Amino acid sequence: MANATGPDIGPPPGMVMAQAAIAALDRDRSGYARVVLESPAFAELAPGGAAPVFKVFIPPRPGEAPVLPALGEKYLPSWPPQAERPTVRSYTALDFSPGGTAVEFAALGHRGGWWLDGFSPGDRLGFIGFKHGLVPPGDVEHLVAVGDPSAAGAMAALARQVRAGIAVHLVLPRGPALPDWLAAPRASGTSTAADTGGYGFPRIGWAEITELTGAPPARTALWLGGEVRPVRELRAQALRGGLDPARITAIPYWSSGLSRDEFDRELSVRYRRAADRGVDIMDPAVAAEIELG
Ligand SMILES: Cc1cc2nc3c(=O)[nH]c(=O)nc-3n(C[C@H](O)[C@H](O)[C@H](O)COP(=O)(O)OP(=O)(O)OC[C@H]3O[C@@H](n4cnc5c(N)ncnc54)[C@H](O)[C@@H]3O)c2cc1C
């Protein structure tokens, strides 16, 4: 198939783009939905690290088949006419087995979120993934992960999937107990329920985190996921505290007042401007600076 950016080259090596069926979508009182997607194509998934990320393509109406984009040069997507165009959202695999055909994730039913309520088992979503798996450098002995409620799935995935020998310290907002399927068992590490500041993010500073966990910065990696403002602030504190930027993964999950589509449009303008200035936008530390504004 050809598209506006050239011939359709398919997803990058190791990634899969496919239609998937919703095999389970269970909402419980905790506010999370446990979602399981199934596709024979998932057998080809090659995760590159812990808590791998994927995107779903949500069709305009439940029951419809999601249209998948054609991918051209540099994997730029080319979409069909607006009316059929799906909505794209990012999630994190909580569980999957290499060679298996199911991917499980936790989706927070936050206020303003729109798609979870309308969809049910049997409906289809498009899928492209994985990317962004975390592989801490070899000398890392501690991983500290701080996130808002929508990061609970990613943080459980980190605790389950990051290599043995690393103590994982989770800092989540204080709130109702997480359901069992979102548990984050780990032989070593700590789990802290913190009061929240703005945007549902734990109100905790870098100095307090190092004191609480006893994690020496020279042997520590930091993972952050949540609203862009508190993620930016805690990353800045960790940098001032001497943490190497290459050891920080700081992901702006959402931006208050903007849908992800609006936020993505803002980010693409920033990326284009940075590329025009000759900045290496493929450098993860540079990308974090761009995305965190
Ligand atoms: C790499 C990555 C991985 C992610 N993994 C997960 C995951 O595993 N599970 C998960 O639940 N989310 C995850 N997210 C976050 C999720 O993609 C966003 O929350 C997304 O915006 C939800 O889409 P929506 O259609 O429900 O809301 P949108 O249409 O994007 O937004 C509607 C309104 O809700 C607000 N909003 C958006 N997200 C949140 C939120 N999380 N909390 C409170 N208000 C919000 C917006 O500012 C807007 O006002 C991830 C995001 C990224 C970038």
pTM greater than the 0.75 cutoff: yes
Choice from 254, 260, 261, 292 to test ligand 1 binding pocket (greatest atom count within 8 A of CB): 254
What mean pLDDT do residues 33-54 have? 95
CATH number of 142-256: 3.40.50.80
Reported as a pLDDT band with limits 50, 70 and 90, residue 4 is: very low
Tell me the two tokens of residue 228.
Answer: 């862009």
Q: Is the C-beta atom of 107 inside 6 A of ligand 1? A: yes
Same fold, 2-131 and 142-256: no
* pLDDT of the residue at 71: 85
Centre of ligand 1 to C-alpha 150, Å, is 7
Reported as a pLDDT band with limits 50, 70 and 90, residue 285 is: confident
Q: Is the C-beta atom of 260 inside 6 A of ligand 1? A: yes
Please give the mean pLDDT across all residues of the chain: 91
Residues paired with residue 238 on neighbouring β-strands, in sequence order? none
Strands of 132-233 (E only): list them: 142-147, 167-173, 189-194, 220-227
What mean pLDDT do residues 217-224 have? 95
CB 174 within 8 A of CB 194: yes
Does 57 or 12 have the greater pLDDT score? 57
Q: Is the C-beta atom of 115 inside 6 A of ligand 1? A: yes
Residue 226 has pLDDT above 80, yes or no: yes
CATH number of 2-131: 2.40.30.10
Q: Where are the domains of the chain?
A: 2-131, 142-256
Q: Is the C-beta atom of 108 inside 6 A of ligand 1? A: yes
Reported as a pLDDT band with limits 50, 70 and 90, residue 200 is: very high
* pLDDT of the residue at 83: 66
Q: Is the C-beta atom of 90 inside 6 A of ligand 1? A: yes
* pLDDT of the residue at 6: 55
Q: Which tens digit of pLDDT belongs to each residue from 179-192?
A: 999 988 888 999 99
Q: Which tens digit of pLDDT belongs to each residue from 143-181?
A: 999 999 999 999 999 999 999 999 999 999 999 889 999
What mean pLDDT do residues 60-86 have? 83
Residues contacting 93, CB < 8 A, separation 6+: 47, 51, 52, 53, 54, 103, 104, 105, 129, 130, 157
What mean pLDDT do residues 29-47 have? 94
Q: What gap in Å lies between CA 20 and CA 103, rounded to an integer?
A: 10
Q: What gap in Å lies between CA 169 and CA 23, rounded to an integer?
A: 32
